[in-house]
Amino acid sequence: MSNNIIFHNNFHVGDVVISKPFVKEIMKFFPDTNFFYAHKNNEFLTHDLCPYISYNKFISTRDDEFTITYDNITVINTWFGKMHEPTNRFQKKGSYDICCFESQLDRYNSQLNKIGIDLSYMDVNPSNYFWEIDNIYINNLLNITSTNNVLLFTNKSLSHQSDNDDIDKYIPDLCLSFPNITFYITDTNIILPNIINLNKIFIKRGIDLFQFAELSKYCNIIVGNPSGPFQFTWIKSNLEDPNKLYITNQINDSIGEVQFCATQKAKTICSITTKDMITNLKKELC
């Protein structure tokens, strides 16, 4: 490896988020090295790891290539969508059946083992790699008084893991059916007494991800399409809470793709359609 390492991801927020615990570990193996992260999402996403540099396709590895080195710069690709998956865990269960952490760990190890790095120790206790968020992003923007709160993400899945049905059409009936529940909705124009439209409150792109994650601590149920903002709520205080519930939808009906790890204490309900996702939410609220 060279003295300058650029972690590079050509895809969306969720792909960068799930890479972060592994990037943090990889950095430990290369002392006296300058690290950077290049991606096309908001720079705040990786500000806690290393300096951000603008996404540049000319420094990119190919999507099927893990590293490339030139001019004392090594670029490490942190997206594995087109890379080979030669591990026993994939062969036994299939890539759609294991959770995001285990999936990524196998993929990183399959590449890093070639240069003498082994991250298998991360498999012993995945909770060591849960991240947490400080209560510094919401400040006085919200006065959270209710204890019966639902955080509902209305954004679509950019990688098309869901049917991307319009969630808005289910919101009026949902909120009118449960007037004692406060619904924090990421973006909607529907006005009801128990709806708080976060798009009118959290207005700074990038920081809003941290605000959603901080708010999620105070919500009993977190609902939405599998996406980067949804994954950003996979924080320690949520994942270690057995009373926390995630409800999402996945067209492959794959519980693994919508959980951080298999040993998390937070529960997940996975549906194959948006309609079923809302139906499952109603059942839990009854």
According to the model, what pLDDT value does residue 92 have?
47
215, 100: one domain: no
Asked if the structure places residue 39 within a domain, the reply is yes
Q: What is the pLDDT of residue 17?
A: 93
| pLDDT reported for residue 3 | 87
The CATH number for 212's domain is: 3.40.50
Please tell me whether residues 279 and 174 are part of one structural domain: yes
Q: Is 132 inside a domain boundary?
A: no
Q: CA 58 from chain center: how many Å? A: 27
The total number of structural domains that make up the chain:
2
pLDDT of residue 90: 53
> What pLDDT sits at residue 25?
97
Per-residue pLDDT of the chain in tens (286 residues, 90 and over written 9): 678 999 999 888 999 999 999 999 999 999 999 999 999 888 889 988 999 988 665 565 566 788 888 888 899 999 887 665 555 555 444 444 688 999 899 889 988 998 999 999 999 999 999 999 999 999 999 999 888 999 999 998 877 788 989 999 999 999 999 999 999 999 999 999 999 999 999 999 889 999 999 999 999 999 999 999 999 999 999 999 999 999 999 888 788 889 999 999 999 999 999 999 999 999 999 9
Question: Closest by alpha carbon to 133, among 47, 198, 65, 203?
Answer: 47
Pair 189, 250 in one domain: yes
DSSP string for 148-208: SEEEE-----TT--S----GGGGHHHHHHH-TTSEEEESS-----TTEEEGGGT--STTHH
> Within a domain: residue 54?
yes
Q: Are residues 79 and 192 in the same domain?
A: no
Identify the CA nearest to 10 among candidates 58, 49, 44, 47.
58
> Are 207 and 257 in a shared domain?
yes
In-domain check, residue 136: no
> Is there a domain that residue 270 lies in?
yes
pLDDT for 71 equals 81
279 part of a folded domain: yes
Domain boundaries, position 105: 4-126
